[in-house]
Chains A and B, each alone.
Chain A
Amino acid sequence: MFDLSPEEWTAIHLSLRIAVVATACSLPFGIAVAWLLARKNFWGKGLLDGVIHLPLVLPPVVTGYLLLIAFGRKGFIGSWLAEIGIVFAFRWTGAALACAVMSFPLLVRPLRLSFESIDRKLEDAAWTLGASPLKVFLTVSLPLAVPGLIAGTLLGFAKALGEFGATITFVSNIPGETQTISAAIYTLTQIPDGDAAAGRLVLVSIVIALIALVASEWLSRRAGQRFHGE
């Protein structure tokens, strides 16, 4: 049963690469946005909050189509990016972009809650001890938001790993380039005799999800011990 074909390995490898890249690239933005939403009042805050959460409530196909319009070869951003050599359309990088957009609200939310729950008095204390606002953020706010960082990263990663609708709409289902585990399973269910292979990939998905869950649980516990432990 676990004799995976080269095509299946390719899909697994691609899925992991896309999810890791999508999560890693959106993390800095996610931290910045979560912090802004938790701490700052500015014009258009409600709008920013809404736009970020749109992928959560829109049909994924719609998000994928909007990405196609914007980042396709003829898209208003895509055509401009193509001139400097960055292409998303029908590439694995496009799949990563779609996953990043779709997982962004899930990444931001726990982080924002973590930032909101930090005792701001601790930040004031750091400030009086000579830490500039940036240093306060790096030495106090961000370390104290680590539980939210872990939860957000896991949720974002899981969403990126399983993303299907937006990805297939934006970059299609090209084996070896944009065919992730989900897309491969979808293809396998469309052909006769695909059941065994689909079953193998389903098992792989479950294993990857479990590993990610256990890892984040372990990291959270370690972070918790750092705050309250010996």
Chain B
Amino acid sequence: MLTVAVKRALPNFALDATFSGAGTIALFGPSGSGKTTVANLIAGLVKPDSGRIAIDSDVLFDSAQRIDVPAHKRRIGYVFQEGRLFPHMSVARNLDYGRRMNGLARDDNDHARIVAMLDLGNLLTRRPGKLSGGERQRVAIGRALLSKPRLLVLDEPLASLDAARKAEILPYLERLRAEKLPMIYVSHQPDEVRRVADHVVRLDGGRVAAAGGVELLS
């Protein structure tokens, strides 16, 4: 169960969002509604002015208690819009990065399972510069999963792809639901959200306009 109650002043508006939920929560809304900022607040990349963020009973941020867990200790996987693969590492090294940084033991079964799920087997020796947009995004998802996060944030993971690539990635995102990993899915595309999310939080102008099931989208 993820609980978020945050305030943050932004150049154009004030973000003031409160919501909670389990499973896959979609942050849905027009561009500029504060979706990505909320994702960054949860991951610890941006600091709220005040508020509280917790996963179950584990507090990540609480301005009243002066708790602010740094991003590298939050164990929140983040898939960015543009992949953000490390250009100086092979795909295999990119995938292994989170495990190395967290000092985790090798888990060959988990590795093999995720590589198979995302069809990364024939990409492992390549450099990110030689991948297509869709391949890059699949590697980014695998890299985040292999860091063994307790929550996965996906910020418009399909936004930089053309229609054909989107159709290529969507099935993989649906497979993610089988991982039973809590997810935050940021998007302004109702059809995407419908396919991956359990709950929808609709943001507008930095505020929660509505929250509920996927029926909110129609």
Q: Which residues of A contact B (CB under 8 A)?
A: 119, 121-122, 124-133, 135, 139-140, 143-144, 226-230
Contacts and interface: CB of A to CB of B under 8 A. Distances in A.
A80 to B, nearest CB: 40
Nearest to B97: A129
B45 A130 contact: no
A226 B88 contact: yes
Interface in B132-151: 143-144, 147
B163 to A, nearest CB: 25
A226 to B, nearest CB: 6
Nearest to A144: B88
A227 B126 CA distance: 11
Contacts of B101: 126, 129-132, 135, 139
A107 B148 CA distance: 40
Contacts of A229: 127, 129
B130 A130 contact: no
Contacts, number: 75
Given A122-B84, A124-B84, A125-B80, 15 more contacts: A121-B80, A122-B87, A126-B97, A126-B101, A127-B72, A128-B72, A129-B72, A129-B147, A130-B72, A130-B102, A130-B147, A135-B101, A229-B129, A230-B126, A230-B130
Contacts of B43: 128
Interface string B95-115: 001100110000000000000
Contacts of A128: 43-45, 71-72, 74, 76-78, 144
23 contacts: A121-B80, A121-B84, A122-B84, A122-B87, A125-B84, A128-B71, A128-B74, A128-B76, A128-B78, A129-B102, A130-B75, A130-B98, A131-B72, A132-B70, A132-B72, A132-B101, A144-B88, A226-B88, A227-B129, A228-B127, A228-B129, A229-B127, A230-B126
B114 to A, nearest CB: 14
A227 B130 CA distance: 10
A228 B85 CA distance: 12
A180 to B, nearest CB: 37
Enumerate the 4 nearest inter-chain pairs by beta-carbon distance, A residue then B residue, closest first: A130-B102, A129-B98, A128-B78, A125-B84
A121 B143 CA distance: 15
A140 B77 CA distance: 18
Contacts of A144: 87-88
A221 to B, nearest CB: 15
Contacts of A127: 44-45, 71-72
B88 A129 contact: no
Given A129-B147, A227-B129, A124 B45 contact: yes
